[in-house]
Structure 1
Amino acid sequence: MSRARAMASSSSISALLSPPTSALFSSKSKISSLSFNKIQPFFFFKQKPITPSTISAAAANSTFILHELGLSESQIDLLFQTHPQIELSSTESLNRRISQLRSLRITESAISRRPEILTSPEFDPLLDFIQKHLVGEIQQEKLERLLISTNPSNSIERIHLLLERGIPEEKLAHVINSVNVGKVFDGMQIRELEEVLLFLQRFGSPEIILRRPAILNLDLQTQLIPRINFLIDLADGEESAAATLIRKLPGILAYTVSHFRSHLNFWTSIGLTREQILKMALVYPNIFSVSKERKLKPRIEFLTQCSLNTEEIFKFLIKAPTFLSLSFEKNLSKKLGFLIKIGYKHQTKELAIALGSVTRTSCKNLQMVVSLFLSYGFSCEDLLKMSKKHPQILQYNWVSLEKKMEFLIEEMERDVGELMGFPAFLGYKLDDRIKHRYEMKKESRGKGMSLNKLLSVSTKRFNLKME
């Protein structure tokens, strides 16, 4: 075929999607917009002459529609030769299909890769469903892959299966946007996908699928089952514990069994039991995602240098698990600098405990907390004593701290220095605890009441005393 004829065929597809009165995909869309190289493979054929006597009534209707879209006689003839099924399409079906493709913004390039989408009835259920339920939600790239790279019957069958197994219709686009479309909607047998969905129901599906749709990309026999079995074994056979872990972090299933074993061996090598490792994982499942060499080993070594034994390391990590994953350069090193400046000594338990506390706050907030105490007349030595007694004061929001200190001074008419003896005052909620109890007690006890007795007693005991 000549280059000119191939380019004319290219123009026919372009015109189907870009009629002169409404250029849908580009304000500069033209009949010749597709390149010869993109379309050329579809047009190496031996032409058959078309004469008026051989055009059927259906072809006449199709010709009329294509004329209305702005195609010339020669372009229509060439399109009929390359895709003869269009010649036999009814006016209604061809109009409907073109309208659908326009509304879905399917590109000319996509159509050129699969021209049968213009006429094949197999696409009807899939296109109808997408047009009614997924327009505006599904990513254009994923939409085109669904239409161009999969069997439409397979795709609609798997869509209905996902809906039947609990995926909400409004979340379906999220799932499609997040998975390997070719594999999940075409590559897997429908039976295989159903087995995956049924298996995952035991561990929290469909919620875990909605949180991590890429789980559906995994092979049931070689990936999902071995990985989940490892977690069940770690939980001493308790499937419910493994399910809890998976629900907390569905992405944990992305790790291989060898990866799990490597991390398990590391933790057992420092003396932790499998039960302790499971407890740590349930508190912070991301322990399996932390690099052993870059983070785990040097940080456990730091805690060991601070004289923490195995049991103390376990308790530390239960309270401050993000210590394992935070950036050293951008986070932990700066916090260590603040702690050293206010008086903490290197390689001490007090330093480790304080660092564990400040993992729960930002570097900026820690700086503001220190500045706030200094502005109220406390020295670094005072702050050191208070934080050793109540390490949490270093992690509280500085704005909240300031409000409590102002209430202590202005409303309760107390000296801010009383915080040295009872820094835990700063940990109670201002409105629900401090103000409420103060208002309840100030008439009977006066303004000089013990802060410790006012706040530390349980709500039940406090209410009994008020009766």
Structure 2
Amino acid sequence: MVAAITILTNSFSSSSSSRISFPSHEFVGPPKVASSISWQRISFCVEWFPSFQLNTTSRIALRPVLGVLSFQAARRLRGRFSCVGTNTHIQTDDLFSFFREIGLNDGETNLLLAKNSTLRSTSLDRIRSQVLALQSVGIKGIALFRLITKCPDVLIAEEIGMLISFLNNDLQVEIDSTQLERFFRGVEPRFLLGFDQKVKLLLHHGIPPQKIGYVLNNVNLNKAFCIKSVEDIERTITFLKPYGGTDIIVRRPAILNYDLDAHLIPKVQFLRELSGEDEEATGIVLRKLPFILSYRLEHMEGHVEFFRSNAGLSDQEVFKIIQVFPNMMSASKDRKLRPRTEFLKQCGLNSNDIFKFLTRAPLFLALSEENISLKIGYLVKIGYKYRTKELAVALGAVTRTSCENMQKVVGLFLSYGFSCADILAMSKKHPQVLQYNPSSLEEKMEYLIEEMGREISELLAFPAFLGYKLDDRIKHRFELKKKTRGEGMSLNKLLTVPADRFLSKKVVRVK
């Protein structure tokens, strides 16, 4: 052994003085077959003789060393060298081959291994199992390639495997693969612990199992389930319970993203104070439009203040409008609210009139300028005077119909012999007449003429006839009454009598 060390020392010292500089990082890339001893073997010799420095001839000088050592020692060294080289070769080759199968070229695999050197020491079976788990939730092809190259930790993180197992086996819901990919790219695996408990908490509080998938697909999973603790989620659900609780969450899952103290409590409290501390009414607003909690508190306060100062409405009147039409909060103050309220004032409406108008026709605040202009044009053409209360009332009645439908209704009346003055008179008595479906109107007018034997002009006296259902009301009552009262009965009395009185009169006559 002493002789071997002496020979090795002489061999090293007699060579050139230039030094071998080893790379500062591990060798990456698939190993290549070489006739000389591999760098791993040289590294082993450095560990065997730590006091020596290698020079450029040391790779050649290693061969005589094995010849000088005893046969058994040399065989042990060769065996150890062979095992190290072969195992590394097989593991690395297998990794490169596997990554080629899922779309990575060798250069990309090199970068991947450089980002996460732990992959080299991780068994291929474990990596393959993790990839299969990701594919089982829909992360495949380019999405899988994108996720692995950006976040190689997903290939070894046990927490991700546990989460996927929970989704597939326990929860049995389908989460959008894009949602999961975005989630895995933005979360540290350690924050996934407890994810299952938080989801089960939602189920425990009443979110239907068939809806939990929708909830998970429409939240920021990191904000809602990783950053927040179980206690945070519990507090949010408890706070919302008087106003609709989990029903609000199902309708607007993004509520789980919000901070309870900084966002939810101030906004809900603002609405509640505006309602006069009416908890039930506040709940109606939140259930009707949970999205209202997405607006900034300053935005909501600004809209309320606008109606106070520009329309002269009280807080509770403003809340009534919000209760009827929560989307009022989304309308621009400068482009819609201000010009619309000014128009109503020009039509002669005072604060009380504006309040009544907006509770009956709140959509007026959301329609486009073009839509409103066209409807005003049609109303003026049939005889309404511009900037009058009558025009405002008629405009409110047609906010829910399209301009095309309104034009067809006017055309239908004209085809039955009505003049514009007649249409004006009917719409003043029954403003909704201009928003009815043209086909339904024609069917009712034909029944009035053909089956009931009446004149079309009778609609001038009772245009509300066109608002009743043909089969359930008009035909049913006419067939019952024509045998006892004849065909000349008043349309008004035939249709406006409440059902209980109508039936009681019928019973009396039968007796």
Query: Which bracket does the TM-score occupy, shorter chain normalised?
Result: 0.7 to 0.9
Q: How does 1:48-87 map to 2 (within 5 A)?
A: 52-54=82-84, 69=98, 83-84=117-118, 87=121
1:382 aligns with 2:422: yes
- Residue matched to 1:411: 451
* Inter-partner Cα distance in structure 2 for 1:384 and 1:70: 76
Aligned residue in 2 for 1:373: 413
What amino acid maps onto 2:336 in structure 1? K
Instruction: Check 1:352–1:61 CA distance in 2 against 1; reply closer, same or farther (3 A cut).
Output: same
**Partner in structure 2 of residue 97 of structure 1:** 130
Matches within 5 A, 1:18-29: none
- The separation in 2 between residues aligned to 1:280 and 1:71, in whole angstroms, is 62
1:62 to partner: Cα distance: 6.7
Q: Is the Cα–Cα contact under 8 Å of residues 235 and 278 in structure 1 kept in the other structure? A: yes
Task: Tell me, yes or no, if the aligned pair for 1:171 and 1:210 is still in contact at 8 Å.
Answer: yes
**Counterpart among 218, 222, 242 of residue 262 in structure 2:** 222
| Comparing 332-341 and 310-319, the one that deviates more | 310-319
Contact 2:30–2:89 (CA<8 Å) still a contact in 1?
Answer: no
**1:152-167 alignment runs, 5 A limit:** 152-167=192-207
More moved, 118-127 vs 241-250: 118-127
Please list the CA deviations of residues 124-181 of structure 1 after superposition, one character each: whole Å capped at 9, or x if unmatched: 2201123347888433321112223223325444333333333333333322332223
CA contact (8 A) 1:89 1:119 kept: no
**Residue 98 and residue 298 in structure 1: after superposition, are their counterparts in 2 closer, same or farther (change >3 A)?**
closer
Mapped partners of 1:207, 1:222: distance in 2: 22
Q: 193, 196, 213: which is aligned to 1:173?
A: 213
- Post-superposition offset of 1:423: 0.6
In 2, distance between residues paired with 1:323 and 1:8? Answer: 70
TM-score (norm 1): 0.82
Matched position secondary structure for 2:457: helix
Residue 314 of structure 1 aligns with an amino acid whose one-letter code is F
Q: Which amino acid aligns with 2:134?
A: L
Change (3 A) 1:336 1:7: farther
Quick one: structure 1 residues 448 and 212, their matched pair in 2 at CA, closer, same or farther if it must change by over 3 Å? Answer: same
Query: Any unmatched runs of 5+ in structure 2?
Result: 1-22, 32-41, 45-79
Aligned mate of 2:224, from 171, 184, 187? 184
Alpha-carbon distance, 1:51 to partner: 5.6
Larger Rg: 2
Report the Cα distance in structure 1 between the residues aligned to 2:197 and 2:498, rounded to whole angstroms.
Answer: 58
CA distance in 2, matches of 1:200, 1:48: 65
Aligned to 1:293: 334
Pairwise CA distance, 1:98? 3.0
In structure 2, C-alpha distance between the alignment counterparts of 1:414 and 1:110, rounded to whole Å: 74
- Once the two structures are TM-superposed, the CA of residue 277 in structure 1 deviates from its matched residue by 1.6
Q: Distance in 2 between matches of 1:417 and 1:449?
A: 15
1:423 equivalent in structure 2:
463
1:111-130 aligned within 5 A:
111-130=148-167
CA shift, 1:116, in A, is: 3.0
> What percentage of aligned pairs have identical amino acids?
46
How many angstroms apart in 2 are the aligned matches of 1:240 and 1:48?
77
Q: Which amino acid aligns with 1:53?
A: C
Distance 1:466 1:251 in 2: 50
2:271: which partner in 1?
231
Question: 1:94–1:254: structure 2 CA closer, same or farther, 3 Å change rule?
Answer: closer
Q: Note the residue ranges of structure 1 that are not aligned, 5 or more in a row.
A: 10-46
Letter in 2 for 1:273: S
Paired residue secondary structure (1:158): helix
Displacement after TM superposition at 1:71 (Å): 6.7
Q: Superposed, which structure 2 residues align to 1:135-150 within 5 Å?
A: 137-150=174-187
- Greater mean deviation of Cα atoms: 432-441 or 174-183: 174-183
Distance 1:154 1:133, change over 3 A: closer
* Mapped contact 2:30–2:93 kept (Cα < 8 A): no
The 3 A distance-change label for structure 1 pair 83 and 172 is farther
* Residue 323 (structure 1) aligned to one of 364, 385, 394: 364
Q: Is the 8 A contact 1:125 1:156 kept in 2?
A: no
Q: How far is 1:267 from its partner?
A: 1.6
Out of 319, 333, 354, the residue aligned to residue 313 of structure 1 is 354
Q: Tell me which moved more, 60-69 or 206-215.
A: 60-69
Partner of 1:450: 490
Alignment correspondent of 2:499? 459
Aligned partner of 1:110 in structure 2 is 147
State the alpha-carbon separation in 2 of the partners of residues 163 and 111 from structure 1.
32
Superposed CA deviations along residues 66-93 of structure 1, whole A, max 9, x for unmatched, are 5985879x97x978885445645384x4
Which residue is 2:52 aligned to? none
Determine whether 1:274 maps to 2:315.
yes
Picking from 232, 236, 242, the partner of 1:202 is 242
Moved more, 139-148 or 353-362: 139-148
Which AA in structure 2 matches 1:110?
L
> Secondary structure of the equivalent of 1:416?
coil
Quick check: 1:126–1:156 contact (8 Å CA) kept in 2? yes
Query: Is contact 1:80-1:87 (8 Å) kept?
Result: no
Cα deviation digits, residues 258-303 of structure 1 (max 9, x gap): 2222122222222222222222211111222221111111111111
The amino acid that maps onto 1:199 is F
In structure 2, the partner of 1:34 is: none
Which residue identity is paired with 1:292?
A: K
Q: 1:63 to 1:337 in 2, by over 3 A?
A: same
Cα 1:344–1:95 shift into 2, 3 Å: same
> Which residue identity does 1:229 align to in structure 2?
Q
Alpha-carbon distance between aligned partners in 1 of 2:195 and 2:30, rounded to the nearest angstrom: 33
Q: Is the 8 A contact 1:235 1:275 kept in 2?
A: yes
Note the C-alpha offset of 1:245: 1.2
